[in-house]
Chain A
Amino acid sequence: MEVFKPANAAQLKDALAWSAAEGQTLAVRGLGTKTGLGRPMAAARVLDTSALKGGIDYQPEELVLTCAAATPLRDILLLLEQRAQMLAFEPPDLAPLYGHEPGTGTLAGALAANLGGPRRVKMGAARDHFLGFSAVSGRGEAFKAGGKVVKNVTGYDLPKLMAGSMGTLAVFDTVTVKVMPAPAKSRTVLAFGLEPAAAVAVLADALNSPWEVSGAAYLPAATAARSGVDLARGAGGSVTAIRVEGTAVSVAARCEALRKALPASAGQEELHTMRSRKLWEEIRDVRALLPDGSALWRVSLAATQSSALVAALPECAYFFDWGGGLVWLAMDEAAVPARAGVLRAAMGEGHATLIRAAEATRARVPVFEPMLPGVAALTRGVKAQFDPRGILNPGRMYEGV
């Protein structure tokens, strides 16, 4: 298949203007780590944006960073680390889930998929840190939106629209994100042996405490046993994990308070900085904790609904993040068509994404949550405005979108 590889913004615009005029479809790709995410598409060409990298304008004291869209995330994280800052939304590294080397994704890819990690509960998702961009829309027109300052309400918040749109509306040329100071210390309180519903209640209490919890997860026994962190792996039962971050004095005081509030029946432990980081990396990146080779769901739902969801799918390996508001669930590939409906009914209000599955499965089962008619009409309307000829990632999210 022919691949367009623009080397700069002008060429990006050329490629899109030509494709739009000719009605030629494009599969948009950064470094290609997430091509396995979404519905299978039949595009005429590949638009490879990987040459649009570098040009990093990092202003640590302003808490903003602008860079070319395909700048590797790894480069950015390294740069931030040197100034003790971070992307607070904790972008997961899902590359290995799709068989790629770790750390090979781009910042624009993380934004386009709106992926946020465990810190979502406290600091928000990728969308919440996405300040501005320049891009070329499916009309073949270059445009920009948002700004390069942390607070801005000038015009519609198009960065939000682009976050999670999976390259179906426009192709980024540059992106601007908000960065935050990285906490000096990370500590995690562990409680052992809780059932899912009881664990969600414990996590809710922790999140509802004044201790500024920045991670709240539950690993059932089988999941905990896969962890590379000894205290989780050797727990011999489920592990409920509560993270706090900040200065040394602060994390020590908060851990103590959190431990006092745990149910007396549960065994307790505490992970300090290195092991705490390791555990949350596993939770963030998912791969180590769930069986390889199976189909994988990412379900965002009301936290109190998560234990009912997993009870309805007793055959599945899983774990909870976001205090139960996010369920990662592994399912036998062959069972997906039959069990997808059960999953979506048991979740209640929410959004289930079939984040990894064989192409044939993704062709049969809605990868993104099916929309109600009103939202579907607006979604198609937005697509038609930004990409009237449907040239960008056709059908990647929904049929006709």
Chain B
Amino acid sequence: MLAMPPPDRAILDRRAAIVDALRAIVPGDGVIDSEIGRRPYECDGLNIYRALPMVVVLPSTVEQVAAVLAYCHAEGIKVVPRGAGTGLSGGALPLEDGVLLGMAKFNKVLEIDYANRCARVQPGVTNLGITNAVAHAGFYYAPDPSSQIACTIGGNVAENSGGVHCLKYGLTTNNVLGVELVTMDGRIVRLGGKHMDSGGYDLLGIVVGSEGLLGVVTEVTVRILRKPQTARGALVGFPTVEDGGNCVAQIIAEGIIPGGIEMMDKPAIHAAEAFAKAGYPLDAESLLIVELDGPQAEVDELIAAVGRIAKENNATSLRISESEEERVRFWAGRKSAFPAVGRISPDYVCMDGTVPRKKLAEVLTRMNELSAKHGLRVANVFHAGDGNLHPLILFDANKEGELAAAEALGADILRLCVDVGGVLTGEHGVGVEKRDLMPAMFDATDLAHQQRLKCAFDPQGLLNPGKVFPQLHRCAEMGKMHVQRGSVPFPELPRF
């Protein structure tokens, strides 16, 4: 079970004074200290872990954010940023002795600049909110996590979120041009802007995906794109997972990069079909949804090629969408995969590893063995184009030991991903969930270099501590150079 840094009694003892000080910075309803008011913030989308924050602060200006952080910095108080709380790795899990800094009031679209193909928005705007703001002009924001109705762009930046369209259009990091960031000491900096290359160290590039550990994002400039002229889908059933995997490999080998390629295994197909009645083939061992988007002439040509490739890879069923309505229906099951699984099991956790695609069949076989070993069912949905797996582990938290078994199975699955050459997380982030698994992928020196980056931004480790890194090191300790002059012999290497 997960251990968080022990709450600091000295801070908790000063709670009343801290609340007063915060009220002086954020007036009105922006500081919540009642228990009932704090409850909704006790967890994020990874709801198996909960903690009641010491106090919730909802600032509405960058000056307030800067003043709150400067105050907490001076007083040694920990801060956890939060967007919509849909994160699946516990990144926004509160600390009992910390301030939960909710960014929900930063909900404005500040500027839309079609001539420079970008929009400037506040971090609390939802992912879909950006698309909605530009849709009337035929534009959209490309990264589309399944949680897009609810999740915020600030959370997307922190997690470097993806979606079904990432292979072609990139993750959040490839679609963000700039941010305004407040560092833990209350300093406001702007990174990037409307220009494409920023030069200097790519601080923007490391802030994206930093899981709220480097600074609080108070503004985001995103790239917006013109909507594709058309999109068509293919729905293909295969007799084995291997055939489905081979089909994906051949599509890419033939030079086709679909807008989306999603795969589901048999348990996921059945759960989704029961829920959404999308017409999925129930006899298939794996199901592919391939969507091509772009200019009509190209899409028509390539969707035919996808049909041919599917047949060459033993497809047992193949449908190609002839209308927008049909295309949307193909997606209905996949898009409701999570609630569908929620209906067949009291609880589930969603994992998120990436593997080299050619290992897919092997990984599924070994995952089935692990599932049997731990006595829990697993349903799989994948972003097949980039090998990003989402095994959904089904369990019942009310049954003695099942939560622990689910955690253990999840850890085994992620270790398996690393084992075959993949990684712990493709889009949900490390957070607290995969924190203790980091050594499976990185050795102590690797992790120390990552933590040193943290030291450059937040040397006291007050921003979102206990996340991402399995061990907290003091920056002063890490800064020491362990080599002493003269102790390293003159290197035996070719010299001229």
CB distance from B223 to the nearest CB of A (A): 10
Are B257 and A139 neighbours in the complex by a CB distance under 8 Å?
no
- Comparing B2-10, B266-274, B343-351, B484-492, the segment that makes contact with chain A is B484-492
Partner of B196, one of A2, A144, A322: A322
Partner of A375, one of B170, B200, B257, B297: B200
Q: Does B173 contact A (CB under 8 A)?
A: yes
Residue of A nearest to B178 (CB): A349
Q: Does B126 contact A (CB under 8 A)?
A: no
Partner of B202, one of A127, A183, A372: A127
Chain A-chain B contacts (Cβ-Cβ < 8 Å), number: 322
Residue of B nearest to A115 (CB): B197
Q: Write out the residue numbers on chain A whose beta carbons fall within 8 Å of the beta carbon of B371.
A: none
Most interface-central of B301, B441, B491 (chain A CB within 10 A): B491
Residue of B nearest to A121 (CB): B196
Are B249 and A302 neighbours in the complex by a CB distance under 8 Å?
no
- Comparing B224-232, B278-286, B321-329, the segment that makes contact with chain A is B224-232
Q: Does A392 contact B (CB under 8 A)?
A: no
Q: Bound state CA distance, A217 and B423, in angstroms?
A: 39
Q: Does A337 contact B (CB under 8 A)?
A: no
Partner of A253, one of B166, B198, B254, B295: B295
Q: Write out the residue numbers on chain A whose beta carbons fall within 8 Å of the beta carbon of B173.
A: 128, 157, 160
Q: Write out the residue numbers on chain A whose beta carbons fall within 8 Å of the beta carbon of B455.
A: 381, 385
Whether A148 touches B183, Cβ cut-off 8 Å, given contacts A17-B491, A62-B357, is no
- Comparing B23-31, B78-86, B95-103, B113-121, the segment that makes contact with chain A is B113-121
Q: Bound state CA distance, A204 and B116, in angstroms?
A: 7
Q: Does B483 contact A (CB under 8 A)?
A: yes
Are A125 and B195 neighbours in the complex by a CB distance under 8 Å?
no
Q: Write out the residue numbers on chain B whose beta carbons fall within 8 Å of the beta carbon of A325.
A: 116, 195-196
Q: Bound state CA distance, A118 and B226, in angstroms?
A: 19
Interface bin, chain A: 35 or more
Q: Write out the residue numbers on chain B whose beta carbons fall within 8 Å of the beta carbon of A5.
A: 493-496
CB distance from A117 to the nearest CB of B (A): 12
Whether A145 touches B449, Cβ cut-off 8 Å, given contacts A250-B295, A378-B189, is yes
- Comparing B147-155, B373-381, B424-432, the segment that makes contact with chain A is B424-432
Are A158 and B425 neighbours in the complex by a CB distance under 8 Å?
no
Interface string of A357-401 (1 = CB under 8 A from B): 000000000001101101101110110111011000000011000
Q: Write out the residue numbers on chain B whose beta carbons fall within 8 Å of the beta carbon of A196.
A: none
Are A250 and B386 neighbours in the complex by a CB distance under 8 Å?
no
Q: Write out the residue numbers on chain B whose beta carbons fall within 8 Å of the beta carbon of A209.
A: 226
Residue of A nearest to B182 (CB): A374
Whether A7 touches B468, Cβ cut-off 8 Å, given contacts A154-B424, A157-B205, is no
Are B295 and A62 neighbours in the complex by a CB distance under 8 Å?
no
Q: Does B453 contact A (CB under 8 A)?
A: yes
Are A14 and B486 neighbours in the complex by a CB distance under 8 Å?
no
Are A143 and B446 neighbours in the complex by a CB distance under 8 Å?
yes
Interface string of B212-246 (1 = CB under 8 A from A): 00000000000000111100000000000000000
Are B481 and A4 neighbours in the complex by a CB distance under 8 Å?
no
Partner of B201, one of A2, A17, A141, A379: A379
Complex interface residues of chain B between 175 and 208 (CB less than 8 A to chain A): 183, 187-191, 193-206, 208
Partner of A326, one of B162, B171, B196: B196
Are A374 and B188 neighbours in the complex by a CB distance under 8 Å?
yes
Are A369 and B200 neighbours in the complex by a CB distance under 8 Å?
yes
Q: Write out the residue numbers on chain A whose beta carbons fall within 8 Å of the beta carbon of B122.
A: none
Q: Bound state CA distance, A246 and B228, in angstroms?
A: 15
Q: Write out the residue numbers on chain B whose beta carbons fall within 8 Å of the beta carbon of A389.
A: 481
Q: Does A353 contact B (CB under 8 A)?
A: yes
- Comparing A18-26, A96-104, A288-296, the segment that makes contact with chain B is A18-26
Whether A210 touches B488, Cβ cut-off 8 Å, given contacts A141-B445, A147-B422, A300-B196, is no
Q: Bound state CA distance, A155 and B496, in angstroms?
A: 39
Interface string of A23-57 (1 = CB under 8 A from B): 10000000000000000000000001001000000
Are B206 and A160 neighbours in the complex by a CB distance under 8 Å?
yes
Q: Write out the residue numbers on chain B whose beta carbons fall within 8 Å of the beta carbon of A249.
A: 297-298, 301
Partner of A212, one of B167, B294, B487, B493: B294
Q: Does B277 contact A (CB under 8 A)?
A: no
Are B200 and A4 neighbours in the complex by a CB distance under 8 Å?
no
Q: Write out the residue numbers on chain B whose beta carbons fall within 8 Å of the beta carbon of A246.
A: 294-295, 298
Interface string of A119-143 (1 = CB under 8 A from B): 0110011011000000001011111
Are A149 and B302 neighbours in the complex by a CB distance under 8 Å?
no
Interface size on B, residues (CB 8 A): 109
Q: Bound state CA distance, A318 and B493, in angstroms?
A: 46
Whether A147 touches B423, Cβ cut-off 8 Å, given contacts A156-B453, A181-B255, is yes
Q: Write out the residue numbers on chain B whose beta carbons fall within 8 Å of the beta carbon of A183.
A: 255
Are B253 and A157 neighbours in the complex by a CB distance under 8 Å?
no
Partner of B358, one of A62, A140, A369, A382: A62
Are B256 and A3 neighbours in the complex by a CB distance under 8 Å?
no
Are B490 and A158 neighbours in the complex by a CB distance under 8 Å?
no
Whether A164 touches B202, Cβ cut-off 8 Å, given contacts A142-B445, A154-B424, is yes
Residue of B nearest to A120 (CB): B196
Q: Bound state CA distance, A55 and B162, in angstroms?
A: 31
Q: Does A153 contact B (CB under 8 A)?
A: yes
Q: Bound state CA distance, A168 and B340, in angstroms?
A: 51
Interface string of B287-305 (1 = CB under 8 A from A): 0000000111110011000
Q: Does B355 contact A (CB under 8 A)?
A: yes
Q: Does A237 contact B (CB under 8 A)?
A: no
Are B171 and A151 neighbours in the complex by a CB distance under 8 Å?
yes
Residue of A nearest to B202 (CB): A160
Show 27 residue pairs from A and B whose CB-CB distance is below 8 angstroms, ordered by the A residue. A3-B495, A4-B495, A11-B491, A14-B493, A17-B491, A143-B448, A149-B355, A149-B386, A149-B423, A151-B166, A151-B386, A153-B159, A153-B209, A154-B430, A154-B434, A163-B202, A204-B117, A208-B139, A249-B301, A250-B297, A351-B200, A374-B190, A375-B191, A382-B453, A385-B455, A386-B452, A398-B200
Residues of B that sit less than 8 Å from A by CB:
114-117, 138-139, 159-160, 162, 166-167, 170-171, 173-174, 183, 187-191, 193-206, 208-210, 226-229, 249, 252-257, 294-298, 301-302, 354-358, 383, 386-388, 421-430, 434, 438, 441-443, 445-450, 452-457, 468, 479, 481, 483-496
Seed contacts A145-B450, A161-B203, A350-B195; 17 additional CB < 8 Å A-B pairs: A2-B495, A11-B494, A18-B488, A21-B488, A143-B443, A143-B445, A144-B446, A156-B210, A158-B206, A161-B201, A164-B201, A208-B117, A210-B227, A301-B195, A302-B116, A303-B116, A351-B195
Nearest 10 pairs between A and B by C-beta? Answer: A160-B205, A250-B298, A181-B255, A381-B456, A351-B199, A14-B491, A374-B189, A385-B452, A253-B297, A302-B194
